A and B are shown apart, each in its own frame.
Chain A
């Protein structure tokens, strides 16, 4: 965690977006992560995505668990409240926060240790519930803060300085698909051009949007053999599609070929224009997507892009039938039945 505040001076040339904020307003404190850490690139992508989406930065809640990745919410969206909770339990804290105020945008930031090891249970259940959130797993296959132990996403046979991993890896993308996530993507911290539109699409999605971002750990897991290294991912990155995010109400001017392009309308009216890079990949069919991902994984490829999306979805609030007004703004009039009702109730207990 940094204790170095960024200077507040704004460059006069900074361009405000539609809601009057400049790029600067989306930044946070100075990162204390290692130079070259993939996580910082993800923070930068988040800053850009939120700026471009014209989100008022303070209307976002950033939640995380414990680990290098979980420190990052301090490094973006300074005007937003952040909650660095306990290890592996970000999903439950985020779920509760979301229940209290459905009007905010919830960014859950986690890592592979936080999500796939200690927090696998909470990861699974928040996905099942369809909590309206963007869940970003900054996946590097190792524990950085405790100096390089394997996490549950590390490949079988992965080598560290002192050990070889003999456990099978957990693929959070496949798991999310099985658990019913309505938006599943994989990105690479080294490919901002792909990551920013993915994040924008995820933020606009209603329901649980899961993004697994391969984010190399330069300190402990960046050897060329590691499938979580810059070199390996650059070499084996197979993007199934290219995503263009089209804002709600924006005219869809560009011509598109239905054969090579899929248009997906989201709940908020935005469109996702998906240009096919793998002709036979269908990101709207859960079962075939899952089979495709597993097949290509066995060939040593890292499939990235928008892997699955469901067009019109319900979230946890729909399932619970909660009022439109955030629960944290309800007062006595809506909450307290009053003494007359209690008198009637007393009579029932006699």
Chain B
């Protein structure tokens, strides 16, 4: 292709605090920290950002991207599949990367060597920075260091092109390398090399701009797995058994790190926690159930393949009524699927996990803040309901930094340890039947091992038994127990987080249901639709079992869109299965290519369907 560029056929995009920058890198090249520094710099300027790391199941050499949404308006979901500025550092993905640039957008590339055969677009503005050449001027560095510093050079150039004050980036570099003065100086130098080059050679070429604002407030920038791990600490978890699996590993690691900080006895230096990396997911859930049976708050963190392996144990915990908390950080399935991509595709798997008639409470946090809150709450629910409780995260929430409200804890809050019969209660003559519903809520009392020298012991088993835990194969006894378990699930409806209902500005017969990580993209999509005169009431489902409010919401609308990140409309199917609803009311909006759902996808799909049904109605 000719190196002589035609004039862009469209106007260069001009935008302040509202654009998308994407960094296309090779994994293992050390780009992650520079890219994160970029996102944090913008936050320091008081401008909301959200970032998404799209990475391969690999350690070195494969493509990885880091997408930063800059949004003064505060939209925190992905906007769409296109970007305004592409920092193209990976020759392998060059063509695809160039294709994804908005008309009038910008392409920053390493101009050390002339572009020859690479694909270029007439409607994209080129921003060449000789990164390699500049990095070679950094004296006293070895090639690996220069490779890392190249990332800082492009960071400097991008910051300059976006009119960001240098001191903001410098401040973050100083924070990151605190105590390592030599590294700070070297990184400053690299950053300035890029910034100076852009100032001297590319001034005025980029019309994207970050302007200081006051839109971030007291919000924090945190990953969901980190927040959930912290929630487990606050929620009183003492036993964690886990097996490494992407994208859940960082949750167990976060729990470990927070425990080391907050859970070491100041006097004895001993640990108020036990963390075991098990030999597999089956052993992990076995340990969790053993600990839960013995009265410790215990959990595991895993992903879809782990949930598949744990099935038999879920049935045991459901039937024998043992508390357990399970974090499912969902990824692309089935099978190994797309281990480093996001999906919400374990809903049905988790809801009905194990053979026989089973159902389990599921919680659907929308962001890291809610991941923290639901993590802590899950332990209360598991002990109150004496059953496994699943916190359904996904890779998008779990492994990306999200801007969200600060985490909160009420010091007056006490753990709900559920119905535990004590030695005093047994001595007072209280009747103990392990599976006896004494309070009418279908939740029986349990005793912990070694409660009393002669009363309250029982044999826990996965086989059928009567209300007093005596083995029984009597049909009526079995049915009695299974019916109680169903009633217990009814009780759960009143304990799990209620759905969040939002009313449109105008009355409408359209509704939309969504959950989990879809939230920020949904918020933006609704605003877009509203501008187009398309109004929808919404319901954000936060838990299974579904409360009556979910049924009421659906019945209050003629058409209900259900927005999900899976192929089979799993939440919708669960609703149809569990509630008395006419399935014809539903329209599925499904996004499942493994990348986080975007606002444009949702608004586009819903607008199309709403216009189509309106047209049908008019005809």
Cα distance A331–B413 when bound, in Å? 12
Q: Least Cβ distance of B462 to chain A in Å? A: 6
The answer on a CB contact under 8 Å between A84 and B293 is no
Cα distance A104–B293 when bound, in Å? 14
The answer on a CB contact under 8 Å between B471 and A336 is no
Residues of B within 8 A of A342 (CB): 234, 407-409
The answer on a CB contact under 8 Å between B462 and A327 is no
Give B269-293 interface residues, CB cut-off 8 Å to A: 269-276, 278-280, 282-293
Interface residue? A225 (CB, 8 A): no
Interface residue? B463 (CB, 8 A): yes
Interface residue? A341 (CB, 8 A): yes
Interface residue? A81 (CB, 8 A): yes
The answer on a CB contact under 8 Å between B409 and A339 is yes
Known contacts A82-B460, A341-B262; decide if A92 and B283 are in contact (CB<8 Å).
yes
Known contacts A101-B295, A350-B220; decide if A336 and B236 are in contact (CB<8 Å).
yes
Known contacts A100-B238, A323-B271; decide if A84 and B461 are in contact (CB<8 Å).
yes
Q: Least Cβ distance of B604 to chain A in Å? A: 34
The answer on a CB contact under 8 Å between A61 and B449 is yes
Interface residue? B450 (CB, 8 A): yes
Give A1-60 interface residues, CB cut-off 8 Å to B: 1-3, 5, 25, 56-59
Interface residue? A257 (CB, 8 A): no
Residues of B within 8 A of A349 (CB): 220-222
Interface residue? B521 (CB, 8 A): no
Total count of chain A residues near the partner, CB < 8 A: 67
Interface residue? B557 (CB, 8 A): no
Q: Least Cβ distance of A319 to chain B in Å? A: 10
**Which residue from A79, A104, A346 sits with its C-beta under 8 Å from B407?**
A346
The answer on a CB contact under 8 Å between B415 and A332 is yes
Q: Least Cβ distance of A13 to chain B in Å? A: 20
The answer on a CB contact under 8 Å between A1 and B290 is no
Digitize A54-84: 1 where CB-to-B-CB distance is under 8 Å, 0 elsewhere: 0011110101000000000110001111111
Interface residue? A125 (CB, 8 A): yes
Tell me which of B390-398, B451-459, B576-584 binds A. B451-459
Q: Least Cβ distance of A158 to chain B in Å? A: 29
Interface residue? A146 (CB, 8 A): no
Residues of B within 8 A of A96 (CB): 239, 241, 286-294, 296, 298
Residues of A within 8 A of B406 (CB): 343, 346
Cα distance A58–B456 when bound, in Å? 10
Q: Which residue of A lies closest to B405 (CB)?
A: A346
Residues of B within 8 A of A73 (CB): 459
Interface residue? B552 (CB, 8 A): no
Residues of B within 8 A of A25 (CB): 454
Residues of A within 8 A of B263 (CB): 334-335, 337
The answer on a CB contact under 8 Å between A97 and B291 is yes
Interface residue? A338 (CB, 8 A): yes
The answer on a CB contact under 8 Å between B450 and A58 is yes
Residues of A within 8 A of B239 (CB): 96, 99-100, 327
Cα distance A3–B472 when bound, in Å? 7
Interface residue? A269 (CB, 8 A): no
Residues of A within 8 A of B262 (CB): 337, 341
Interface residue? A85 (CB, 8 A): yes
The answer on a CB contact under 8 Å between B268 and A1 is no
Interface residue? B414 (CB, 8 A): yes
Which residue of B233, B265, B286 has the most chain A CB atoms within 10 A of its CB atom?
Answer: B286
Residues of B within 8 A of A334 (CB): 263, 265, 272
The answer on a CB contact under 8 Å between B282 and A89 is yes
Cα distance A103–B284 when bound, in Å? 22
The answer on a CB contact under 8 Å between B454 and A79 is yes
Q: Which residue of B lies closest to A62 (CB)?
A: B459
Residues of B within 8 A of A81 (CB): 447-450, 457-460
Interface residue? B242 (CB, 8 A): no
Q: Least Cβ distance of A24 to chain B in Å? A: 11
The answer on a CB contact under 8 Å between B287 and A99 is yes
**Which residue from B43, B271, B273, B316 sits with its C-beta under 8 Å from A85?**
B316
Residues of B within 8 A of A341 (CB): 262
Residues of B within 8 A of A343 (CB): 406
The answer on a CB contact under 8 Å between B407 and A327 is no
Residues of A within 8 A of B462 (CB): 84-86
Q: Least Cβ distance of A139 to chain B in Å? A: 22
Give B381-433 interface residues, CB cut-off 8 Å to A: 406-411, 414-415
Known contacts A61-B449, A122-B283, A332-B236; decide if A100 and B270 are in contact (CB<8 Å).
no
Residues of A within 8 A of B460 (CB): 81-84
**Which residue from A82, A94, A122 sits with its C-beta under 8 Å from B459?**
A82
Interface residue? B230 (CB, 8 A): yes
Interface residue? A163 (CB, 8 A): no
**Which residue from A1, A122, A330, A338 sits with its C-beta under 8 Å from B461?**
A1
Interface residue? B470 (CB, 8 A): yes
Known contacts A337-B233, A346-B406; decide if A93 and B290 are in contact (CB<8 Å).
yes
Cα distance A337–B229 when bound, in Å? 13
Interface residue? A253 (CB, 8 A): no
Question: Top 6 nearest A-B pairs by Cβ distance?
Answer: A96-B290, A92-B286, A100-B296, A96-B287, A328-B295, A100-B294
Instruction: Give the interface of A toward B (CB within 8 A).
Output: 1-3, 5, 25, 56-59, 61, 63, 73-74, 78-86, 89, 91-101, 103-104, 121-122, 124-125, 129, 316-317, 320-324, 327-332, 334-339, 341-343, 345-346, 349-350
Instruction: Give the interface of B toward A (CB within 8 A).
Output: 43, 218-222, 230, 233-234, 236, 238-239, 241, 262-263, 265, 268-276, 278-280, 282-296, 298, 312-313, 316, 406-411, 414-415, 447-454, 457-463, 470-472
Could you jot down 5 A-B contacts, CB within 8 Å? A63-B290, A92-B285, A96-B288, A323-B271, A338-B411
Instruction: Contacts A58-B457, A316-B276 known; list 12 others, CB within 8 Å.
Output: A59-B450, A79-B457, A80-B449, A81-B450, A81-B457, A84-B459, A86-B316, A89-B313, A94-B290, A95-B283, A350-B218, A350-B221
